[in-house]
Structure 1
Amino acid sequence: MKYGKLILAIVCVFVLATSFKGKALKEDPQELIEVATLSEFKTYLNQDGVKVKLAPGNYQIDEARKIRFMEFTGNNTHFDLSGVRFMVDTKLFGRDDLELSDDGNGMYCAIEISGNNVTLEGLYIETYGDTPGRQSKNKIFNVVGEDVTLKNIEIRTAGSSPWGYGSLYGLGGGDVRKMNGIRVGYPAKNAKLIGCQVHMRAMGHAIFLQGAENTLIEDCHVDGLLKTTDAILSETSGYAFDKNFYAGKGGYVEGTMIGEDGKILPGEIISLSEDGIRMYPEYNGHKTKNTTVKNCTVTQMRRGICTGLSTSGDKIIDCVVRDCVATGFNVGNRDTLINCSADAKYSEAFCIPYTNAKGAYVEMEILDSRGGMANDLLAKINGTGHEVIITTSDPGHIPGNLDIKLSVWEGYGNFNKKAKMHATDIKLDNRTAANVILYLGTTNPKIKSKGAVKEATSPNE
């Protein structure tokens, strides 16, 4: 028995020693490689298993070989760029002699991360110069690898054309040459954007997703600039002046009303950029799925946080949107918004605009909406089976002309002109004094409201 116990003890010690040895090996940190020049730093971008720190300082990026100027292709890597500033010359986005990428997408970008399990942190990057790109798809970051983390990245965009007119002169190409911030696209999975800032000083989206899965956007901040149409109409030269102040088309244009003949009207306001955080529904047949946006802020953009175009059901938690001109939050099928807030100075605080959207859940606090212009819509609700709770910390934050409307065309999001507006089985708890207006198409509403609930006296067209 003594020998049996001794053998058992030896086996146990061996197993424990092996276990601790394996754990120690696994947790051994990668050896930090410190480099002092950008050229040396670039030699590690395609290597696996490296941890690299670039010396703090300003670095010029004015030469490139490919349309993706810097490509991070290595796996299991960590790049510490704390204190580093990349200055990217916008002339690169107009070069027609750069090598194309082999993914079939001709977009230009400053940095592409296609490797897996890559962390890039601490970088400040900005574009400079007024040279417009050759296309409208220009961007700073393109993330397509799995398990990629961007942490504490700060971006400032410049170099779109024509600058200063937002969406007035064309979308999806048109006349506009954009400079977007961060794209996360297929085949990206499990990407994390943590503590990033995007300062939009060009036309484009700040952060957008195309066909990405399981993306987390947390503690990120986006800001843009606004401009009144009165300021545009007072110009004595420039792009709009040369067009006699006619926009690309008339009617409702991304939060701004234009004359039916296309003439820019006074008394309106535009965002000079596009959306703060936006989901596209898919990329080449691959759906955008399972996005979480947490503790983020967006100010002075076209739309603030736009998950409505993705139908998988996204989660938006503890987010704040201010001073956006098309909508604060664009909500869609099975989206969940918890403890979110927005104002309605220049557009509705949130909308669920799509008639085919089902089962959204929204908790929305209305922020101070006084002093706005060109808006009388507090919230817009279409679709089926949503549960919505609307609150405010101060009744004075909501001017009396702002209404909550159901089954309504007004505002953002009605792309199908043949759609029949409806709001069916909507559970609404309105804890504000704003009026709730029920338009034709509202069926079986379950409404609890501090403000009056009224049947619309005229159709909303």
Structure 2
Amino acid sequence: MKLIRLYFLSLSFIILFASCQETSKKVEQETVEVQEEFITVHTLSDFKKYIDKDGVKIKLAPGNYQIDQAESIRFIAITGNHSHYDLTGARFMVDTKLFSRTDLAKSDDGNSMYCAIEISGNHTTFEGLYIETYGGASGLQSKNKIFNIVGEHVVLKDVEVRTSGSNPWGYGYLYGLGGGDVRKMNGIRVGYPAKNVTLIGCKVHMRAMGHAIFLQGAENTLVEDCHVDGLLRTTDAILAETSGYGFDRDFYAQKPRHPHKKGYVEGTVIGLDGKILPDEIVSLSEDGIRLYPEYNGHPTLNTTIKDCTVFQMRRGICTGLNTSGDKVINCEVRDCVTTGYNVGNEDTVINSRANAKYGEAFGVPYTDAKNANVEIHILDSRNGMANSMLAKINGTGHNIVVKTSNDDFIPEDMVIKLSVWEGYGNYNPKATMHATAIKLENDTKAKVLTYSGTTNLEAESKGEVIDLTPEKD
């Protein structure tokens, strides 16, 4: 009996102690004194004196600042709470050689990524900076990035990022997809334990292999009024090279391994032997805005992407890999190679626009995705190449609306397909293709093609609906 009483007494003490600690944290947050006026500093060394301070308002004077020295793999670490950093007019030039320095101190968070700026402080605003990498040297890893945001209630506002320093550059995903030789330079990451982060008015110009904006295990993230652009390249231009990475390999890329996607690599068709083919197009970067489903067991939850634009990336806005249901509102995607919008379980995409010049305007590609709501306006998709699929639909219970302001925007050979492996997604080789209980309003003249596995389709379509299910003997 004494042992039991002692156990409950100890447990009660632990609970009381934890509660007191939490209360103490809340009181501490509420009693942080914040400067009333901004302090202007004129050197990077003076700016760094405040990055670990609470309650400060710091303005860095406009000008060019070079970052070619660092003490740790997070070159500048913003750890201050309730602080505001205004870098409007400041331009950071980051030497890519820093991303391969082996003498820099490692982080204690278990993540070995290198990044130019990390924001781990809470209730922090960071705004106005233009930042780019220079030098062209590739880092030690593929996890390199410019911003890493892991704090709570962080606002990243009106920053502009221009990336360089990936290897090999100029081939996109044709070499090293999922590892291999590629060393990337990503733009902005929001990752666990980040909560209630807002990215607003940010621009990312991808001139390296990598994702522009991506989330891993973050909760309640708002990405608003942000812009992403990348570069595309034809395989004809690659095959015309007389030296370089592709030439040295006789223009053989990695062989596609998926049994149902032989010859297909992220929107680009290559030979079954891995040979790069003419008349195709490649994105030189990865995704514009991408959600990973989790980070180390911590799910990515409740993301809203609003009033954003993505041009010339691999996938435009990719929420489909997540399963918790996310919102995309009033966005525009153009000239992406794999798909404009990758949509998944419980996702909502409304009042948004895309073209299908080089890849499908949108896709709900996963057979286990349920109850997505999609409203897409098709933009001018003429004069593209290497694509004839307007949209792809798999899964169960989706409500899909496809519109256009001009029927001439959609070439006659472009079609909407249901229950197909073709195109992006469905990398589970054991999956059974199906599109079940789909409500489709097709206010375009594009044909709708249904294949085996399409059941209980409710379709209102200006374009002909054609059943291509094989007849049984």
CA pair 359-200 structure 1, distance change in 2 beyond 3 A: same
User: C-alpha distance in 1, partners of 2:100/2:52?
Assistant: 26
Shift of 1:266: 0.5
Pairwise mapping of residues 36-435 of structure 1 onto structure 2 (< 5 A)? 36-250=42-256, 251-435=263-447
8 Å CA contact 1:136–1:172 kept in 2: the answer is no
CA pair 340-87 structure 1, distance change in 2 beyond 3 A: same
Amino acid at match of 1:385: G
User: C-alpha distance in 2, partners of 1:212/1:453?
Assistant: 41
User: C-alpha distance in 2, partners of 1:426/1:457?
Assistant: 17
Counterpart of 2:450 in structure 1 is 438
Amino acid at match of 1:285: G
Identity score, percent: 72
Amino acid at match of 2:343: V
Instruction: Determine helix, strand or coil for the equivalent of 1:232.
Output: helix
User: C-alpha distance in 1, partners of 2:39/2:81?
Assistant: 16
Instruction: Determine helix, strand or coil for the equivalent of 2:219.
Output: coil
Amino acid at match of 2:134: Y
User: C-alpha distance in 1, partners of 2:452/2:235?
Assistant: 33
Q: Which runs of 5+ in 1 are unaligned?
A: 1-24
Shift of 1:339: 0.3
Describe the superposition over 1:5-35 as per-residue Cα deviations: whole angstroms up to 9, x where unpaired.
Answer: xxxxxxxxxxxxxxxxxxxx99986231110
8 Å CA contact 1:30–1:49 kept in 2: the answer is no
Amino acid at match of 1:45: I
Amino acid at match of 1:442: T
CA pair 27-392 structure 1, distance change in 2 beyond 3 A: farther
Shift of 1:386: 0.2
CA pair 412-245 structure 1, distance change in 2 beyond 3 A: same
Describe the superposition over 1:432-458 as per-residue Cα deviations: whole angstroms up to 9, x where unpaired.
Answer: 000000000001000000000001166
Describe the superposition over 1:114-140 as per-residue Cα deviations: whole angstroms up to 9, x where unpaired.
Answer: 010110000000000111100010000
User: C-alpha distance in 2, partners of 1:56/1:335?
Assistant: 42
Describe the superposition over 1:347-384 as per-residue Cα deviations: whole angstroms up to 9, x where unpaired.
Answer: 00000000000000000000000001111100000000
User: C-alpha distance in 2, partners of 1:113/1:173?
Assistant: 27
Which portions of structure 1, spanning 4 or more consecutive aligned residues, are displaced by more than 3 angstroms?
25-29
Instruction: Determine helix, strand or coil for the equivalent of 2:247.
Output: helix
User: C-alpha distance in 2, partners of 1:27/1:51?
Assistant: 11
CA pair 27-449 structure 1, distance change in 2 beyond 3 A: farther
Amino acid at match of 1:209: L
Shift of 1:407: 0.5
Q: CA RMSD in A?
A: 1.3
Shift of 1:173: 2.2
Q: How many residues align?
A: 435
Instruction: Determine helix, strand or coil for the equivalent of 1:311.
Output: coil
Counterpart of 2:18 in structure 1 is none
Instruction: Determine helix, strand or coil for the equivalent of 1:69.
Output: strand
Amino acid at match of 2:88: S
User: C-alpha distance in 2, partners of 1:171/1:288?
Assistant: 23
Amino acid at match of 1:74: G
Shift of 1:174: 1.2
CA pair 157-212 structure 1, distance change in 2 beyond 3 A: same
Instruction: Determine helix, strand or coil for the equivalent of 1:48.
Output: coil
Instruction: Determine helix, strand or coil for the equivalent of 2:360.
Output: coil
Amino acid at match of 1:52: I
Instruction: Determine helix, strand or coil for the equivalent of 1:349.
Output: strand
Q: Please give the TM-score of this superposition, normalised by the length of structure 1.
A: 0.93
Q: Please give the TM-score of this superposition, normalised by the length of structure 2.
A: 0.91
Shift of 1:417: 1.1
User: C-alpha distance in 2, partners of 1:128/1:26?
Assistant: 38
8 Å CA contact 1:339–1:365 kept in 2: the answer is yes
8 Å CA contact 1:135–1:173 kept in 2: the answer is no
Instruction: Determine helix, strand or coil for the equivalent of 1:291.
Output: strand
8 Å CA contact 1:323–1:346 kept in 2: the answer is yes
8 Å CA contact 1:334–1:359 kept in 2: the answer is yes
Describe the superposition over 1:251-310 as per-residue Cα deviations: whole angstroms up to 9, x where unpaired.
Answer: 211110110100000110000000000000000000001000000000000000000011
8 Å CA contact 2:163–2:185 kept in 1: the answer is yes
Shift of 1:214: 0.4
8 Å CA contact 2:283–2:313 kept in 1: the answer is yes
Amino acid at match of 2:178: G
